[in-house]
Amino acid sequence: MISLFKVFFIIVIISIIGYGLWEARTLVEGPLLSITTPVQGAVTTNGFIVVSGNIARITALSINNLPVLPNKNGSFSKTFVFPRGNAILNVTVTDRFGRKDTETRTIFSH
């Protein structure tokens, strides 16, 4: 017959392994990038575009290759000025393992 101590020990070991796997999921998931504004094909009449969104599990954030510091809560916001015509906006995040995620938006300014 299995003693109460052995049952308790097995439950503790299974709990520790489960918790470790739960915490390790962030290592597998990679960086998270979600752009709130602008939407694809945004149009501006004055050339100013606010780029904002949320990030998680990153070590670097750049917009058109310019480094941007996110807030402590994982949000970011930066205003850019684009010349008349079409412009491409690239937002890139990198995690501590070098994995990258990039989102691109086309902006129209007139």
DSSP class per residue in 32-66: EEEEEESPTTEEESSSEEEEEEEEES-SEEEETTE
pLDDT of residue 1: 62
Parallel/antiparallel/unpaired status of strands 32-37 and 48-56? antiparallel
Structure tokens of 21? 């796997």
Q: Torsion angle of alpha carbons 101, 102, 103, 108, nearest 10°?
A: 170
| Residues 40-98: tens digit of each pLDDT | 999 998 889 999 999 999 999 999 999 999 999 999 999 999 888 999 999 999 998 89
With a cut of 80, say whether residue 26 has pLDDT above it.
no
User: How far is the C-alpha of 53 from the C-alpha of 49, rounded, in Å?
Assistant: 13
* 98: Cβ contacts below 8 Å, ≥ 6 apart: none
Q: pTM of the full predicted structure?
A: 0.76
